[in-house]
């Protein structure tokens, strides 16, 4: 029986030599680069999936990230960044990791074969929700069970896996194949497979935010400025887009209670906060639409 690609022995595995750590490092770096390049073959599927995720949030649905082991860490990392980066409400996000998110340095490996509590965790799934299921092998029981539950409730399933023809991809509404080469350390999918997964997840959430109007000219205009670094970043964003100095940008942010989009409209167009919020509401929160409409008047 042919092993799945994530379990095969890499042809360059012999380059990992304890007597030549520099050479071994070069081999590992090449493996990571090759894994990253595998994402290029999935861009169309990633774009389609990002659109589905954006539609879920537009309709007050919930994004459910489901995974086990290393894939679970990749999925959780993406989900946990969405609040601070794009102000996605915690009520719109769920993380389901086999065995639960680790609180220490150990991960419960056996949990990926179990589904205890998963049906209860997904009992409130609705048709406009989306499940993002991530598994290097594409056959992890935890993700397959979650996918089955999701589809029985009419929710959309985005499947991310590194093995072609795997059950997760075959059963997903939107399959994303990340065809990474075998690992330099055979079966250690936290390496190449995990790298490709993280890139794909980064792309999914970033494209989703772009579709929702949370990115303008490459800037995070929907970020939540809840620390000094982000407050400074927010002021810089307002200053650049509104073409005003930092003092004016900061004043607009104060008026807008720290929200970047209305602050930009206050600084750039001289709107009051109620006027800015009304225009954003009319545009579905899309800053570009408001600015373009004003420029065309």
Decide which of 211, 229, 250 is a domain's last residue. Answer: 211
pLDDT in tens, 198-233: 999 999 999 999 999 999 999 999 987 778 888 899
Helix (H) or strand (E) holding 191: none
For residue 198, the enclosing domain spans: 13-211
Please, which pLDDT band fits residue 108 given cuts at 50, 70 and 90?
A: low
Is the pTM above the cut of 0.85? yes
The whole-chain average pLDDT of the chain stands at 92
Q: What crossing angle do the helices spanning 260-269 and 246-255 adopt, rounded to 10°? A: 120
Token representation of residue 180: 């990474």
What is the per-residue pLDDT for 226? Answer: 74
State CA 111 to chain mean position distance: 23
Q: Are residues 237 and 192 in the same domain?
A: no
Catalytic residue among 7, 112, 183, 259: 112
On the CB side of 97, CA atoms within 13 Å amount to 19
Q: Is the pLDDT confidence value at 1 over 60?
A: no
Specify the CATH number for the domain of residue 132. Answer: 3.40.50.10490
Mean pLDDT of 111-138: 89
Residue 198 lies in a domain: yes
Q: Are residues 74 and 191 in the same domain?
A: yes
Q: Are residues 167 and 285 in the same domain?
A: no
Residue 6 lies in a domain: no
Helix, strand or coil for residue 23?
A: helix
Decide which of 211, 240, 266 is a domain's last residue. Answer: 211
Specify the CATH number for the domain of residue 287. Answer: 1.10.8.1080
Residues 6+ apart with CB under 8 A from 208: 50, 51, 53, 54, 57
Residues 6+ apart with CB under 8 A from 275: 265
211 catalytic per annotation: no
Catalytic residue among 40, 81, 211, 275: 81
81 catalytic per annotation: yes
Token representation of residue 275: 């006027």
Distance from C-alpha of 155 to C-alpha of 168, rounded to nearest angstrom: 15
Q: Are residues 270 and 165 in the same domain?
A: no
């Amino acid at each position: 029986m042919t092993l799945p690609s994530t379990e095969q022995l890499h042809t360059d595995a012999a380059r990992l030599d304890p007597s030549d750590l520099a050479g071994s490092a070069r081999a590992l770096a090449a493996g990571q680069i090759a894994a990253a390049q595998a994402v290029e073959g999935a861009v169309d599927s990633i774009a389609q999936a990002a659109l589905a995720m954006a539609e879920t949030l537009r309709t007050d649905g919930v994004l459910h990230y489901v995974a086990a082991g290393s894939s679970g860490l990749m999925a959780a990392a993406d989900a946990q960044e969405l609040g601070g980066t794009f102000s996605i409400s915690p009520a719109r996000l769920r993380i389901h990791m086999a065995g639960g998110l680790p609180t220490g340095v150990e991960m419960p490996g056996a949990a990926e074969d179990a589904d205890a509590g998963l049906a209860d965790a997904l009992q409130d799934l609705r048709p406009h929700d989306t499940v993002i299921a991530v598994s290097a092998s594409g056959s992890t029981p935890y993700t397959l069970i979650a996918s089955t539950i999701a589809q029985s409730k009419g929710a959309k399933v985005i499947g991310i896996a590194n093995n072609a023809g795997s059950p997760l991809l075959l059963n997903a509404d939107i399959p994303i194949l990340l065809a990474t080469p075998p690992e330099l350390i055979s079966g250690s999918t936290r390496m190449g497979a995990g790298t490709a997964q993280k890139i794909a997840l980064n792309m999914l959430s970033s494209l989703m935010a772009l579709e929702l109007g949370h990115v303008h000219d490459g800037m995070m205009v929907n970020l939540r400025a809840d620390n000094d670094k982000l407050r400074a970043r927010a002021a810089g964003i307002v200053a650049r887009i509104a073409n005003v100095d930092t003092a004016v940008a900061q004043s607009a942010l104060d008026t807008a209670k720290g929200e970047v989009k209305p602050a930009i409209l206050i600084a750039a167009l001289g709107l009051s906060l109620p006027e800015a919020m009304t225009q954003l509401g009319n545009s579905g929160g899309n800053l570009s639409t408001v600015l373009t409409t004003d420029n065309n008047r």
